[in-house]
Amino acid sequence: MKGYMRLVAVASLFILFFCLGCKKEIPLPDSIALRGGTPDSLAISAAGGEFSVNFNSSSTWGVSLSASWIQNLSNSRGDAGDAEIILKVNTNTEHYDRKGYVTLNCGKASVRIVVYQNEAGAIILTQRNYTLDAKEAKIIVEFKTNVEYEVIMPSVDWVRDNSTKALTTYTKELIISGSNQEESRKTSIIVKAKSSNLADTIKILQTGLAIERERAALVNIYNRLSGERWTSKQNWHTNKAVGEWEGVTADDEGRVIGLDLRTNWLIGEFPKEICALAKLRELRMGGSGTMFGELPKEIGNLKSITLLDLSGNRLSGPIPSEICTLLNLKNLDLSSNSFSGEIPSSIGNLSNLEYLHLEDNTLSGSIPQSMSSLSKIYSIILNKNQLTGSIPAAIFNLPKLENLGLENNQLSGSIPATIGNATKIVRLSFNNNNLTGVIPEEFTQIADKLDWNSYHYVNTGICGNRLSGSIPQSLVNHPKWVKIWRRVVPQQDGYGLNLNSVPLAGYSFTFRDVNHRNQILTDIYKKNKYTVLLQWDKENYLMYQLAKALEEYKDSGLQVIAFDNGSLMESTTKNIVGSSALKSFINFLSFDHSSFNPGDPSEEVFNAIKNSGCKSVQAEVMDKDGNIIFSYLKGMGGDNRFSRDTQRELIPFLAGLLGSISTPFYESTDFSEDGKVITIQQATVGRGIDLVVMGDGFTDKDMAANGKYESWTREAIEHFFSVEPTKSFRNRFNVYIVKAVSKHQELIAGAHTALGTKFGSEISENQRKISGDANKCWVYAEKIVRGGTHLDANKAIIINVINSTVWAGTANMFPGLTGTIAHCSHPVEKGDDFKHIVVHEAVGHGLGKLADEYYAPGSPWYMPEWKQQELKSLYQNWGWYSNIDFTNDPQKIRWSWFLSDERYKSFVGIFEGAFVDYTNDVFRPSENSMMNSYSTVFNAPSRLAIYKFIMERSGEEYKFENFIKHDEVSLSPQVPHQ
């Protein structure tokens, strides 16, 4: 045992010595700890802020953040030892508490700080502003909050707290007492946190009785002016504040201060309710063209108004003197209406007036002297009235006057010498009055200031009067004389100024022709002996005569420069020039005004001729030096160069200078066939309805038996009887052809045709309107003699077949007469077009007295009430236009019976749009018909009208049941409306 113990002791010593000989250092564990009083959790207010974290680490450390709203403003890493970092907590804008973590790491050791941030205090109102009418009301104020709050009520007695215990702490019920006050009233209620300044405000505006009346007035205005048809009517007739109604402007209290209805069709009488808008400052109702009636005296209630625009309507009666009490008025525009009577003598009371536009009415009497008191006025426009008396001399003393338009009146007396005092005048027009005496020397003083260009409301000038005597030499010597003499010299026919030694040069300007070549007018004068400058009309015989003259005498020194009336596009002008007699002229290109600088003399000259006031072709002839030797201008003091009739005198004048000029067209010489009658048939049933067919523009070469004249007129007869109901009742007609030999074939002004038919304005490239001479047609119809008695042309249906292949058709209907005249062209290369024209014009309009069922698509156009009444009268008195109506009530419409009959239900309906121009409030019976598209048969109401006239005019009693029986033949092929 002892040996064993010694062995153990020895072994232990050995192990001990071995271990002491192999000793190695053992590392300390990772550690990181907060120090310096830094807590492991922090509570931060909603406002946020910065705080420091102090700690000690045994080795390298790092920091991590769990939320974006905690930011580290210091280093994110560091070495062992003591350390400090600065952290920032952002403001809490949310309405809830939030928690985040800041973690400090040192190797495997870490320590975490919890950051708590309070929620943001809030009081959130679901509605802050309440606008109420004058009636008593109850409102529930709702809000959200996370703080203790209190409600601070206003001190007014018309708002009281009606909250009860049944309500939650997050609502307030308020009673708003009714108001009997005229004006609005307002107050505020504050919802406030008890422990802070956090608060929100409820604003209550209660409108007064005046606002309620204004709302009612606006509703009445809407109803009286057919508001349901307006295109700009958003929010009208709703419960929204009137300031949100389209076109209405309201002040902060909800009172109406502006009303702009210019974009709407205002159909109806001027609404008196407008005068109830006592705070109205601007009223714009111009340009409608459909508002009528008189202005009420109550217009004087609008004491706040500064702008009153009622232009472009159909208002009538006198201008009420109460307008002159509107002392804030700056702009008064009553132009383009039908106002009559005198301008109120108290107009001078409007001391703030800047613009006065009363043009284009029928105002009479003299210009009020008080108008000379309008010291702030810039523009006075009184054109196109019936004003008499003299021009007030003091009106030229107005210090700010720039525009004075008095043209087209009946003013008399002399031009006041005070005209020289108008130092600010820019545009002045006395044209077309009865002014007498001489041109005062003082006129020259303002000539330099005047703008001599044309404007839509003032064309500067003094022409068209009865002025006499010599022209002031200072005016003749004026640098602008060559431009302005046409606005000064021409007076009324039979009157004139002394033109001795007064230079009157022709036009001088540069222009582009239709081939885009620059042309200098003075150079053209110099190259030729005689230059004709004229406004052209392609459908005028004179154009062809001039073309012939140019063909024969161009080498002898003749040139023609032509321009249109300024209404055509460049492409249209080129097409017309290239396809007519005009192609031989130098053709002035239609102006593109944007390509000229303001005041460009070319534009001025062009407008001078274009606005000459004459509808026929006008011409002037200049010699090599540019002097006028022939002119249409009148009132030139008896000078034989002027007052020339272009249509009648130009060709003889040129012939006197150059020699005879050949006729441009073939002319008939054999008139032996003229007036001959061919009887096609006599009626075998009834007393006979007279159908007379003739033609215009046919020369003696067309008159052979079975020649062009007979062929086309016989074709028209067959077309007349090609559709129902005339097809079935041909035996009730007397049918004749009357020959009419024309001197010329061309249907243009200046040419001579038997029936005087002329083409009118273009509808499209191949479609024209027609005008005819009814008296000449009746004369030829009365060449028919039966039993010694001439046919009564006033009772006949006359078809005038035109010798032209251009699509054209017009029917002349005469109230009180059963007879009609249908002018029909013959478009031979277009299938059934000739048939459709004859049936539409002669059967539809001529026999059935039907209205056109087509209309022009595009902008809405409403038939005015006066037009409806006119058409209703023609229906009631003469049975015209039974195929249109002005109601869409199936029980009341003129063809109501057809709508309820099973046989016609799929063929007859109610479709809006008819009578050419009207897309609204005029109704037709079918989508398509002969009176609409030309391409189908007549609809049932139209067939009924034609049947009725056939029966009555042939002497048989009309019975509806007989029509229904007869109409069975028309039902099977009828094309249903879509």
pLDDT over 90 for what percent of the chain? Answer: 53
Highest averaged pLDDT of the listed ranges 198-207, 338-347, 520-529, 531-540: 338-347
167 confidence band (pLDDT: 50, 70, 90): very low
CA distance 948 to 866: 28
Please tell me the predicted confidence (pLDDT) of residue 332. Answer: 98
Give CA 316 to chain center in angstroms. Answer: 23
Residue 572: predicted pLDDT: 64
Judge if the upstream peptide bond of residue 503 is cis by omega within 30 degrees of 0. no
Mean pLDDT throughout 536-558? 84
Q: Estimate the crossing angle of helix 646-658 against helix 541-553, to 10 degrees.
A: 10
Checking if the pLDDT of 263 tops 60, the result is yes
Place 573 in a pLDDT band, splitting at 50, 70 and 90. low
Task: Identify the architecture of domain 32-117 in CATH.
Answer: Sandwich (2.60)
- Nearest-angstrom CA–CA distance, 313 and 338: 8
Q: Which residues pair with 151 in a beta bridge?
A: 191
Beta bridge partners of 738: 677
| Residue recorded with tokens 């070495």 | 79
Sketch the domain layout of the chain as residue ranges.
32-117, 123-206, 212-317, 510-658, 677-847, 865-971
Contact at 8 Å (CB) between 785 and 792? no
**Would you state the pLDDT for residue 565?**
61
403 pLDDT more than 90: yes
pLDDT at 977: 40
Q: Give CA–CA dist 743/738, Å, rounded.
A: 16
Residue with the larger pLDDT of the pair 653 and 484: 653
**Average pLDDT, stretch 795-824?**
92
Predicted confidence (pLDDT) per residue in 321-332, tens digit: 999 999 999 999
Amino acid code (one letter) for 799: I
For residue 715, the SS3 value is: helix
Does the pLDDT of residue 803 top 50, yes or no? yes
Which of 92-106, 676-690, 952-966 holds the top average pLDDT?
676-690
Cβ-in-10-Å burial (0-12, 13-18, 19+) of 784 comes to buried
Give 445: exposed, middle or buried? Use CB within 10 Å, 0-12, 13-18, 19+. Answer: middle
Task: Provide the 10 A C-beta neighbour count for residue 540.
Answer: 21
Work out the percent of the chain whose per-residue pLDDT is above 70: 88
Greater confidence, 683 or 197? Answer: 683
Q: Mean of the pLDDT values across residues 578-599? A: 60
Average pLDDT, the chain: 86
Q: What angle do CA 223, 226, 227 make, to 5 degrees?
A: 75
The pTM assigned to this predicted structure is 0.66
**Strand-by-strand arrangement of the 379-381 sheet:** 248-250, 256-260, 282-284, 307-309, 331-333, 355-357, 379-381, 403-405, 427-429
Q: Tell me, what's the pLDDT at 858?
A: 58
Same fold, 123-206 and 212-317: no
User: What are the tens digits of pLDDT across the range 429-467?
Assistant: 999 999 999 999 999 989 888 887 666 567 889 999 999
* pLDDT > 80? residue 608: no
- Please write the tens of the pLDDT for every residue from 63-91: 999 999 999 999 889 999 999 999 999 99
Q: Which of 202-206, 681-685, 970-974 has the lowest mean pLDDT?
A: 970-974
Structure tokens at 697: 């523009």
Residue 596 has pLDDT above 70, yes or no: no
Distance CA 851, CA 572 (A): 32
pLDDT at 942 over 60: yes
pLDDT of residue 664: 84
Pick from 283, 205, 209: which is nearest to 249 by CA? 283
pLDDT of residue 694: 98
Kindly provide the residue ranges of all beta strands, DSSP E only, lying in 352-467, ordered along the sequence. 355-357, 362-365, 379-381, 386-387, 403-405, 427-429
pLDDT confidence of residue 525: 93
Q: How high is the pLDDT of residue 567?
A: 55
Q: Which CATH code for domain 123-206? A: 2.60.40.10
Predicted confidence band of residue 494 (pLDDT cuts 50, 70, 90) = confident
Reported confidence tier of residue 612, pLDDT bands at 50, 70, 90: very low
More confident residue, 570 or 945: 945
End-to-end CA distance of the chain: 132
pLDDT of 578 reads 65
**Residue 518 has what pLDDT?**
84
pLDDT grade for 605, boundaries at 50, 70 and 90: very low
So what CATH class is 510-658?
alpha beta
Angle, vertex CA 792, rays to CA 791 and CA 795, nearest 5: 125
Binning pLDDT at 50, 70 and 90, where does residue 103 land?
A: very high
Give the model's pLDDT for residue 639. Answer: 80
Question: What confidence score (pLDDT) does residue 304 get?
Answer: 97
Domain covering 212-317: architecture: Alpha-Beta Horseshoe (3.80)
Q: Average of pLDDT values for 584-599?
A: 56
- HSE, CB side, 13 Å, CA atoms: give it for residue 455: 20
Q: Please report which helix (H) or strand (E) contains residue 942, including its range.
A: helix 940-953
Provide the pLDDT confidence category of residue 566 given band limits of 50, 70 and 90. low
Q: Is the pLDDT of residue 771 over 90?
A: no
**Residue 823 clears pLDDT 90, i.e. is over it:** yes
Multiple choice CATH, 677-847, 3.30.465.10, 3.40.1190.20, 3.40.390.10, 3.20.20.330: 3.40.390.10
**pLDDT tens track for 876-923:** 999 999 999 999 999 999 999 999 888 888 889 999 888 887 877 899
